[in-house]
């Protein structure tokens, strides 16, 4: 279970741009979209991107915009090569209180709350980096075609993300 959760975090972390990555792996985005429409509570800027560099660091660019919310429950599904790895519901607010500081730092890059309520805010990368070198051995498990879907219900509206990516070793 811990390996699957770590894999999901790793996949989300590299899910937005093609990059030569740590341990010789690269990620190619097939599709990344905010499927919640213009009224979504959490929105990735069109220019938002994340690279996994050769030092095994997540290097984001761009911003995530949050409208204020008190609750966030995600209904999600992660598929790899057509097989569902994990699906279910996840209360982002209550889970945020119980994750490590490293995970909070990583999730903050994507507009995920470190606690609720969340004020309206724009979170920009500003050359922030998160070191993932201790997870590089897990990249072989992520190799393949990945589809991530997350529908998030907030007390103030909805957010939705759909990401398709390919992780390969060069």
Q: Domain spans of the chain?
A: 2-169
Burial (CB count <10 Å: 0-12, 13-18, 19+), residue 2:
exposed
Q: Which of 22-31, 117-126, 137-146 has the lowest mean pLDDT?
A: 22-31
Q: What is the CA radius of gyration of the chain?
A: 15
What pLDDT score was predicted for residue 1?
44
Angle at 29 between CA 103 and CA 87, to 5 degrees: 55
Residue 131 and residue 56 in contact, taking contact as beta carbons nearer than 8 Å: yes
- Banded pLDDT at 39 (limits 50, 70, 90): very high
Residue 116 and residue 93 in contact, taking contact as beta carbons nearer than 8 Å: yes
Per-residue model confidence as pLDDT tens digits over 48-62: 777 777 888 877 778
Q: Which of 154, 159, 163, 169 is nearest to 48 (CA)?
A: 163
**Which of 107 and 134 is assigned the larger pLDDT?**
134
Residues 41, 159: Cα–Cα separation, whole Å: 5
- Banded pLDDT at 111 (limits 50, 70, 90): low
Per-residue model confidence as pLDDT tens digits over 68-80: 999 999 999 999 9
Residues 169, 167: Cα–Cα separation, whole Å: 7
Q: Indicate the pTM of the whole model.
A: 0.78
CATH of domain 2-169: 2.60.40
């Amino acid at each position: 279970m811990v390996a699957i959760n770590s894999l999901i975090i790793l996949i989300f972390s590299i899910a937005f741009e093609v990059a030569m990555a740590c341990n010789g792996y690269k990620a190619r985005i097939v599709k990344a979209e905010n499927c919640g429409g213009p009224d979504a509570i959490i929105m990735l800027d069109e220019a938002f991107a994340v690279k996994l560099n050769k030092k095994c660091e997540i290097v984001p660019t761009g911003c995530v915009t949050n409208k204020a919310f008190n609750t966030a429950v995600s209904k999600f599904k992660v598929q790899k090569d057509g097989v569902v790895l994990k699906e279910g519901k996840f209360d982002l607010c209550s889970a945020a209180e119980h994750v490590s500081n490293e995970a909070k730092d990583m999730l903050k890059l994507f507009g995920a709350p470190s606690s609720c309520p969340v004020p309206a805010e724009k979170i920009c990368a500003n050359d922030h980096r998160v070191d993932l070198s201790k997870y590089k051995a897990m990249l072989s498990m992520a190799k393949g075609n990945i589809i991530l879907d997350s529908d998030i219900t907030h007390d103030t509206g909805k957010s939705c993300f759909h990401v398709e990516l390919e992780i390969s070793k060069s």
